[in-house]
Amino acid sequence: MQELIAVGDRAPDFTLPDQNNRKVNLVGLSADRRVLLVFFPLAFTGNCEGELALIRDRLPEFENDSLTTVAISVGPPPTHKVWSSAQGFLFPLLSDFWPHGAVAQQYGVFSERHGYPLRGTVLVDRDRTVLFADVAEAGAPRDATVWERALRLA
């Protein structure tokens, strides 16, 4: 795993398909709001489902006039479509499928050993400056305080 992107770094732009196969890019997302990037290992897994359900259940905190939130994993758009429909996730689930994990690698949250991103949380300002960055160890859930620390800066 590469080193986690640092606070103060410029967040790399990316363009990825969402669960509806629409192209989403960081430059467009950050044009008028801060962006919370929520990297997760895999759809249809317990910890990931619980974390994204928290976002779903508290959506006004994660999606408002000053902040937008996207979740990113290596799963393909059709998988994300089925999962997001079943779970009622109304925020974008972006597919970092090919090149496999390239965006997660740029942000320093990709586990080569596992072949998927770890639970990374990165808050990006409108000028693409990283305001917050955290990553959980492989197999570990996101620290319970991560959401509050990131949202406080949003």
- Is 7 a member of any domain? no
- Is 141 a member of any domain? yes
Catalytic residue among 16, 36, 48, 67: 48
- Is 84 a member of any domain? yes
Q: Assess whether 48 carries a catalytic annotation.
A: yes
As for how many domains the chain has, the answer is: 1
CATH of the domain at 101: 3.40.30.10
Q: Given this model, what pLDDT does residue 1 score?
A: 63
Q: Is the pTM of this model over 0.85?
A: yes
- Is 9 a member of any domain? no
Q: Given this model, what pLDDT does residue 47 score?
A: 87
Q: Given this model, what pLDDT does residue 97 score?
A: 97
Range of the domain at 102: 15-153
Q: Given this model, what pLDDT does residue 2 score?
A: 80
Mean pLDDT by 10 residues, the chain (154 residues): 92 98 97 97 89 96 97 97 96 97 97 95 98 93 92 94
| HEC per residue, the chain | CCCCCCCCCECCCCEEECCCCCEEEHHHHCCCCEEEEEECCCCCCHHHHHHHHHHHHCHHHHCCCCEEEEEEECCCHHHHHHHHHHHCCCCCEEECCCCCCHHHHHCCCEECCCCEECCEEEEECCCCEEEEEEECCCCCCCCCCHHHHHHHHC
